């Protein structure tokens, strides 16, 4: 066994003298915490659930009106999942698509609030897919406590993505 062999640690092209460990440099300060984006909740029809969603997730309750100039320009359209609600949501999305909404507004998503407990009937589920093909859709399940006016507590776990979007931090 030869003991005079030179041990290489890789191709010579990569090693040019002793390898040194770079000095520890101070890390730049962490960026300041980014505040959650604010949204304006806009109902596409009466009884869509705008006030409830604004109370639970935060943001501006605009009812069925376009946001005022002082309101956040990022819009979340709200509709119930019954036939009339989904038709109203499709119409409102079309208004944005045609450029008929105020130009300073940004349509971020549609929030569909369950109109009853349980699964959607197939014809309604197909209408939801049409809306989903155009933009982001967030679904809010039936919450019996909300029907009784109890808006405290944590939002339903099925809405975790919506909660993160609106800045509603859940444990």
Domain residue spans of the chain: 40-166
| Distance (Å, whole) CA 104 – CA 74 | 9
pTM: 0.78
pLDDT in tens, 140-166: 999 999 999 999 989 999 999 999 999
Q: Are 112 and 89 in contact (CB under 8 A)?
A: yes
pLDDT in tens, 94-131: 999 999 999 999 999 999 999 999 999 999 999 999 99
Lowest mean pLDDT among 26-30, 61-65, 75-79, 93-97: 26-30
Helix, strand, or coil (residue 88):
helix
């Amino acid at each position: 066994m030869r003991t005079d062999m030179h041990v290489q640690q890789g191709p010579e092209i990569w090693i040019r003298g002793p390898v040194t460990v770079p000095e520890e440099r101070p890390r730049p300060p962490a960026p300041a915490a980014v505040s959650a984006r604010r949204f304006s909740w806009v109902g596409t029809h009466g009884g869509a659930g705008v006030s409830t969603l604004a109370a639970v997730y935060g943001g501006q309750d605009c009812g069925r009106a376009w946001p005022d100039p002082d309101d956040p320009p990022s819009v979340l359209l709200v509709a119930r999942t019954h036939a009339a609600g989904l038709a109203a949501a499709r119409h409102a999305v079309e208004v944005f698509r045609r450029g008929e909404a105020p130009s300073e507004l940004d349509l971020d998503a549609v929030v569909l609030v369950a109109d009853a407990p349980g699964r959607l009937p197939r014809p309604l589920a197909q209408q939801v897919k049409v809306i989903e093909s155009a933009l982001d859709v967030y679904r809010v399940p039936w919450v019996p406590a909300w029907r009784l006016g109890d808006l405290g507590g944590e939002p339903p776990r099925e809405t975790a993505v919506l909660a993160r979007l609106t800045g509603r931090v859940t444990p």
